[in-house]
Amino acid sequence: MTMYAVSVPLQVNVLGIVTLDFKGGIRVRVEENLSAGLGGVKLKIIGHEVSADSPVLGRVTLSQADIDTTPLSLLELVSALPPKFRNTIFHDFTFTIEKPPGGGPPLVLRNTKTAALVNDNLTTFPPQGSVYHLQQPIDLAPVGAPTQVIATIQAMAFTVSYNP
């Protein structure tokens, strides 16, 4: 599935707000059925990468983290007639800044808490031009130093489409 998000506000401690336009994609697979409520499935992210080019930070890349502790994402049926779905994508990721403020090699950060992107008004899945909203700002800290927050993604709205 393709993904893009425009005008994403990134608060960088030493710079203030930098606005980024991300594009890329995400791949998921069904892991198990969801029996609660009207039903649905649990999904696992099996590939995700989006990137943005910034005149200040260079290439900024958000990609799937190499960890297995991320909760499975949910695709829940919330109404049968007409069908309506809620999709919650839980995501842990690395956030790489090619040209960090102050110079030096690329800076690799991690989200300090699992991010949740939600669309609660899907009529089809895979989605077609559907917007997913970040549920809360996400703090970013160096790998191995989760209390040293360097940047925060203030908000993000990804448009997601499936192109077979």
Is the pLDDT confidence value at 66 over 80? no
Is the pLDDT confidence value at 164 over 80? no
Q: Give residue limits of the domains in the chain.
A: 2-157
At residue 84, the pLDDT reads 95
CB within 8 A of 137, min separation 6: which ones? 152, 153, 154, 155
Model pLDDT for residues 105-129, shown as the tens digit of each residue: 999 999 999 999 999 999 999 999 9
At residue 33, the pLDDT reads 93
**What's the rounded Cα separation, in Å, for the pair 12 and 151?**
4
At residue 161, the pLDDT reads 95
Is the pLDDT confidence value at 93 over 90? yes
